[in-house]
């Protein structure tokens, strides 16, 4: 990508400090990642920040991720002894496994509590992860009151907040945290495609061009289906974007395609899962 993606608003610095402060109260960290980019959506700072706290990885948004890719990622985590589960907050599929799995990861600690007479002490979990991965949605699935604020943009949760849920657990909602420098611009682009980075700071046409490249290479049938394209497709991603814009009637005076509108549409539709189930990265071999 030509533009270099750098984004680290002040509330993230505050969040990192807060996470360190709150850590002594926490038994386990529930790390919520985006199943469409399981690698890129893991914050490399988190390991250092969490200093060896037990962890449960939640691959969220599996409803819009490629099922085979998700299976491959689960096998990969199993191989590396990293407790992991899948979740779809849109329907709630998988949510019932969360608290039992947390307690399973902490079984030795829970047994020790019983011995010390602390039978029934709830497990305290910090729900952490990058912006927009679905941390608050996960909490709302368990907390019937549905009080955590959810929106389809990054940076919605601004403060830490505790929620008591059924099954013997307390969950701490936290604001999403990204890392300050994206050394790898492929990672940065994937975070932008999926909506983890605020749109206002990005060149949408360049981003859509990059996404189109990936989709044309790996998911052509889904592109054809969504935008009703037949015949030979142009090799150039930019021409393909123009073709799609034209199909959707996005024209400006003089008959030219409004490429900005087409770009915004492509990004929106990908983010919302409208193109189908698409995962942008597979586990390392
Ligand atoms: N398709 C799909 N969308 C989801 C899922 N979980 C959450 N979302 C959507 O993702 C967007 C972000 O959800 P939030 O719960 O606000 O994410 P968050 O991690 O709390 O975000 P921040 O507070 O900004 O860090 C919302 O539009 C949700 O509806 C899921 O499993 N599947
Ligand atoms: Mg939130």
Domain ranges of the chain: 10-173, 203-271
Ligand 2 centroid vs 65 CA: distance in angstroms? 20
Q: Which atom of ligand 1 is nearest to the CA of 32?
A: 19
Q: Which atom of ligand 1 is nearest to the CA of 155?
A: 24
Q: What is the pLDDT of residue 8?
A: 61
Decide: residue 248, CB within 10 A, 0-12 exposed, 13-18 middle, 19+ buried.
Answer: middle
Q: Closest Cα to residue 195, out of 17, 45, 11, 61?
A: 61
Strand partners, 128: 31
Please name the fold of domain 10-173: Rossmann fold (3.40.50)
Ligand 1 centroid vs 156 CA: distance in angstroms? 10
d(CA 261, CA 258): 6
* Contacts for 153 with CB less than 8 Å, ≥ 6 apart: 132, 195, 198, 199
Q: Which of 9-13, 250-254, 256-260 is least confident?
A: 9-13
Q: Are 6 and 181 in contact (CB under 8 A)?
A: yes
Q: What is the pLDDT of residue 98?
A: 97
Q: Are 33 and 129 in contact (CB under 8 A)?
A: yes
pLDDT at 1 over 60: no
Q: Are 131 and 154 in contact (CB under 8 A)?
A: yes
pLDDT by residue (tens digit) across 195-211?
A: 998 777 789 999 999 99
Domain 203-271 top-level CATH class: mainly alpha
Whose CA is closest to atom 30 on ligand 1?
61
Q: What is the mean pLDDT of residues 237-242?
A: 96
Contacts 24+ apart (CB under 8 A), 158-162: 158/11, 160/15, 160/18, 160/22
**Site residues for ligand 1, CB cut-off 6 Å:** 60-61, 63-64, 88-90, 131-137, 150-152, 154-157, 175-176, 273
Q: What is the mean pLDDT of residues 86-94?
A: 97
Q: Which atom of ligand 1 is nearest to the CA of 88?
A: 31
Pocket test of ligand 1: the residue of 150, 191, 276 to mutate, having most ligand atoms within 8 Å of its CB, is 150
Whose CA is closest to atom 11 on ligand 1?
152
CA of 61, nearest ligand number: 1
Q: Closest Cα to residue 122, out of 161, 173, 169?
A: 169
Q: Which atom of ligand 1 is nearest to the CA of 132?
A: 21
Indicate the pTM of the whole model: 0.92
Q: What confidence category does residue 51 fall into, taking pLDDT thresholds of 50, 70 and 90?
A: confident
Average pLDDT for the chain: 91
Q: Which atom of ligand 1 is nearest to the CA of 133?
A: 19
CA of 132, nearest ligand number: 1
pLDDT by residue (tens digit) across 164-179?
A: 998 889 999 999 888 7
d(CA 93, CA 238): 38
CA of 32, nearest ligand number: 1
């Amino acid at each position: 990508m030509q533009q270099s993606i750098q984004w680290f608003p002040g509330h993230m610095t505050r969040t990192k400090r807060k996470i360190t402060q709150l850590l002594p109260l926490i038994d386990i960290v529930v790390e919520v990642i985006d199943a469409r980019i399981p690698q890129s959506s893991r914050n490399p700072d988190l390991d250092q920040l969490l200093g060896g706290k037990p962890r449960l990885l939640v691959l969220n948004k599996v409803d819009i991720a490629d099922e085979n890719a998700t299976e491959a990622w689960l096998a990969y985590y199993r191989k590396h002894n990293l407790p992991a589960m899948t979740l779809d907050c849109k329907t709630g599929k998988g949510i019932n496994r969360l608290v039992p799995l947390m307690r399973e990861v902490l079984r030795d600690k829970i047994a020790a509590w019983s011995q010390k007479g602390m039978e029934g002490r709830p497990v305290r979990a910090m729900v952490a992860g990058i912006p927009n991965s679905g941390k608050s949605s996960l909490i709302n699935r368990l907390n019937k009151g549905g009080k955590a604020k959810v929106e389809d943009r990054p940076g919605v949760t601004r403060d830490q907040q505790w929620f008591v849920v059924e099954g013997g657990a307390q969950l701490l909602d936290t604001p999403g945290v990204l890392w300050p420098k994206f050394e790898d611009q492929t990672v940065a682009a994937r975070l932008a495609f999926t909506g983890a980075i605020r749109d206002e700071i990005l060149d949408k046409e360049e981003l859509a061009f990059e996404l189109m490249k990936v989709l044309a290479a790996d998911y052509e049938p889904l592109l054809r289906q969504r935008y009703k394209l037949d015949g030979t497709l142009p090799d150039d991603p930019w021409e393909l974007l123009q073709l799609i814009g034209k199909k959707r009637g996005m024209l400006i005076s003089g008959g030219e395609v409004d490429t900005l509108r087409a770009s915004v549409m492509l990004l929106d539709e990908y983010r919302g899962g409208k193109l189908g189930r698409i995962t942008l990265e597979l586990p390392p071999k």
